[in-house]
Amino acid sequence: MKSSTLSRFAAALVLGLTATAQAGQLSGAGATFPAPLYQRWAVEYNKLHPDVQVNYQSVGSGAGVKQFVAGTVDFGASDAAMNDKEIASVPADKGVVMIPATAGIEVFAYNLPGINDLKLSREAFVGIYLGKVTTWNDDLIKKANPGVDLPDLPINVAYRSDGSGTTYIFTQHLSAVSKDFADQVGTNKSVTFPVGVGGKGNEGVTALIKQSPGTIGYVEYGYAKGNGLQMAVIENKSGNFIKPADESGAATLASMELPANLRAWPVDPEGKNDYPIASLTWLLLYGKYSDSAKLADLKGFVSWALTDGQKLSTELGYIPLPEAVVAKSKAALETVK
């Protein structure tokens, strides 16, 4: 075989191998809340299916939805799901299928050396984020923590600076608890808090809390647990103080009912043992994919995540989906073509 023929053959072989490799690559972007779990799923699934590589970028729910709408990723992810306006912005020939993929709780993580299991009433944690409760020995905090030597230390508030489903869930709950909060701050993926400093992603807020004593912020339970942060015990609608844990989050989700579009939140759960701030988080898939190989890889990955992948949830600080939710998520996945 002549050298020119060999060169053409080699070039064709490289192109063929590259096309094969690319066919097995899935790109996703979005919520930081479930990112540690999604990235672990990618690793474990690749061990079982070496020909499929899943690359998930933790950029925040807002950015993830934008990339999904723009069509620059194969799937998106959001803790706030997609609203009707966002869904309508996706080309009609693609469509949108939202699939609950995992669940978790949000915590008030704080940095007060020597003070564990700090209790925060609903009035206190709303007051902190409205800038009305400004020191750790404020009477509202002392009332719920009798006998605890609370420091005369300013409260440093941390929040998400990026468009965030975590912020959506957090502000949704605080708006349900307090009309003042609803009127002054409201519910959205990005809001203007009257006090505090912003950090990008759950990672950024976690870093702010760790770096400065006296700081409090809202983060996903897994981030707080993984970084050894102190977590407040918070008051629920029934007036009970509930410690953040897998069991208290599962109690909240157990009574949750999903509508046909699978978009719902337990905004202010009423059960006496319910943890107050819990939520599902969603994978965003197109209703139709033009690449049949990519479609098969994506459905295989998501199907595995909804079954065997759920077994990894607890160790990373997430709540395995209730069986009823898994069944609805699987049914939704079947509609993706």
Q: What string of pLDDT tens digits covers the 337 residues of the chain?
A: 444 443 443 443 343 434 344 448 999 999 998 999 999 999 999 999 999 999 999 999 999 999 999 999 999 999 988 999 999 999 999 999 999 999 999 999 999 999 999 999 999 999 999 999 999 999 999 999 999 999 999 999 999 999 898 999 999 999 999 999 999 999 999 999 999 999 999 999 999 999 999 999 999 998 899 999 999 999 999 999 999 998 999 999 887 888 988 999 899 999 999 999 999 999 999 999 999 999 999 999 999 999 999 999 999 999 999 999 999 999 999 999 9
pLDDT of residue 197: 98
d(CA 215, CA 321): 32
- Residue 44 amino acid letter: E
Q: For residues 44 and 72, is the Cβ–Cβ distance under 8 A?
A: no
26-104+279-334 against 106-254: fold identical: yes
d(CA 68, CA 183): 31
pLDDT of residue 7: 42
pLDDT of residue 267: 94
pLDDT of residue 22: 47
- pTM (two decimals): 0.83
Cα end-to-end span (Å), the chain? 45
- Counting Cβ atoms within 10 Å, is residue 254 exposed (0-12), middle (13-18) or buried (19+)? middle
The HSE-up count of residue 120 (CA atoms within 13 Å, CB side) is 26
pLDDT of residue 15: 38
- Counting Cβ atoms within 10 Å, is residue 155 exposed (0-12), middle (13-18) or buried (19+)? buried
Q: Where are the domains of the chain?
A: 26-104+279-334, 106-254
Q: Which fold has domain 106-254?
A: D-Maltodextrin-Binding Protein; domain 2 (3.40.190)
| Structure token pair of residue 56 | 């998930």
Of residues 105, 106, 108, 98, the one with CA closest to residue 264 = 98
d(CA 318, CA 13): 44
pLDDT of residue 159: 98
pLDDT, tens digit, 9 for 90 and up, residues 219-253: 999 889 999 999 999 999 999 999 999 899 999 98
Strand partners for 78:
282
| Structure token pair of residue 281 | 């988080």
pLDDT, tens digit, 9 for 90 and up, residues 5-41: 434 434 433 434 343 444 489 999 999 989 999 999 9
d(CA 50, CA 42): 11
CATH of region 26-104+279-334: 3.40.190.10
pLDDT of residue 254: 85
